[in-house]
Amino acid sequence: MDLKRVVVTGIGAITPIGKTVQDFWNGLQSGESGCDFVHQFDISKFKTRFACEVKDFDPTNYLDRKEARKLDRYAQFALIASDEAVKDAGITADNVDHDRVGVIFASGIGGLITFQEEVTNFALGDGTPRFNPFFIPKMILDIAAGHISMRYGFRGPNFAVVSACASSTNAIIDAFDNIRIGKADIIVTGGSEAVISAAGVGGFNAMKALSERNDDPKTASRPFDKERDGFVMGEGAGVLILESLEHALARGAKIYCEVAGGGATADAHHITAPHPEGLGAKNVMAAALKDAAMKPEDIDYINVHGTSTPLGDVAEVKAIMNIFGAHAYNLNISSTKSMTGHCLGAAGALEALSCILAVTKNIIPPTINHFVDDPELDPKLNFTFNKAQHKTVNAALSNTFGFGGHNASVILKKYSA
């Protein structure tokens, strides 16, 4: 089978550092921290009292009031970012075959806010089962993909992907695979998450996964810093329009970059901790390079998983050194989670967008909040600390790893005819 080439023709985002792609990119370049004290609920009794929220968000600025009420916050984000991406790609009712346009979309957790509200209301009542009729359709993981397809009438492949924090990278890879084997011409893909709630923060606090740096939230997400103490929760959505090259050329679409390849592996080690030597991470980067028919020396930039956890950051660097060897010292490495926080099931999509923009703009976004070198990490590696760097980026690799040992990597490269 001759595999089709796949390109990116549209992008959309709503994030803690900007509610459009341009604002998101401006925030990344300037090293903006999206972290602050939580405003969505009373967090005063929690161990962690901060997160990277989407600021000043009113869904009725984007959606009809009646429609917004039927959607969980995560699905609202998904529709808003999808609208930006579809418009950016120039997709109209007349220039695509709707039977050949699909939606493969991800979330790590889905409608947790809706679930919490409905179960709390029931628990505080008299036992009479009074539930909102939209409870289940607002909560379920696949509903974002469903709403996107219904909004535009896209009738191609449509499903949701969940693999914890690797979810939206897996969705991108699934979309890439469906297009290159000819099952669709275009797929709207990416991920969305909105779980900054009592259940979300409380649950992650109970696992001791979150930073508790309440005295200085702006700098709490500090990947690769010796004093990192856990990740910072984020929320938002990232959307990519993937399209076969021949279809994009036929309709005169602009092309951001090409999707070169992707890989997926498992640690098979622990429910939350990474393999200490980064075995799954090493294998997934090797798989992505093999799928792309590329050598380690072809990669210029890695947007790492880099969550700011003591174990995870070290294991990922070990994996990078294992795969890239001496070339690791020529790479730029950065964790944009230092700015956006960890957006869980949306993280992979937002970090793929960071790679796409790095490839198209030749600018590496920084890893902010670095203060103290970690002696476990090689100081000769370029972690792009605290300031963006200009560099020709021909190819970028994005890593995402999820609870359960799920690993996914995708490679984006400059488009060349």
Residues in the chain: 417
Considering just the CA atoms, what is the radius of gyration of the chain in Å? 20
Element at 409 (helix H, strand E): strand 406-413
Question: In Å, how far are 32, 64, 236, 338, 388 from 27, measured between CA atoms?
Answer: 5, 28, 14, 12, 11
Name the pairing type of β-strands 363-364 and 389-390.
antiparallel
Cβ neighbours, 10 Å, residue 310: 13
Known catalytic residue at 165: yes
Q: How far apart are CA 204 and CA 109, in angstroms?
A: 13
- Is-contact 291 261, C-beta < 8 A? yes
Q: How far is the C-alpha of 275 from the C-alpha of 411, rounded, in Å?
A: 22
The active-site residue out of 147, 305, 370, 406 is 305
Chain centre to alpha carbon of residue 198: 22
Of 165, 257, 343, 355, which one is the catalytic site residue?
165
Rounded Cα gap, residues 322 and 277, in angstroms: 9
Beta carbons of 77 and 236 less than 8 angstroms apart? yes
Query: How would you classify the pairing of strands 332-334 and 363-364?
Result: unpaired
On whether the CB atoms of residues 365 and 212 are closer than 8 A, the answer is no
Cβ atoms < 10 Å from Cβ of 121: 13
Chain-centroid distance of CA 201 in Å reads 19
Residue the block writes with tokens 């709207």? 188
Q: Which amino acid is at 101?
A: V
Which residue in 147, 275, 342, 370 is the catalytic one? 342
DSSP state of 109: S
Beta strands in 245-305 (DSSP E): 257-266, 301-303
Nearest to 264 by CA among 103, 401, 396: 401
Angle at 139 between CA 243 and CA 167, to 5 degrees: 40
- Residues marked active site are found at 165, 305, 342
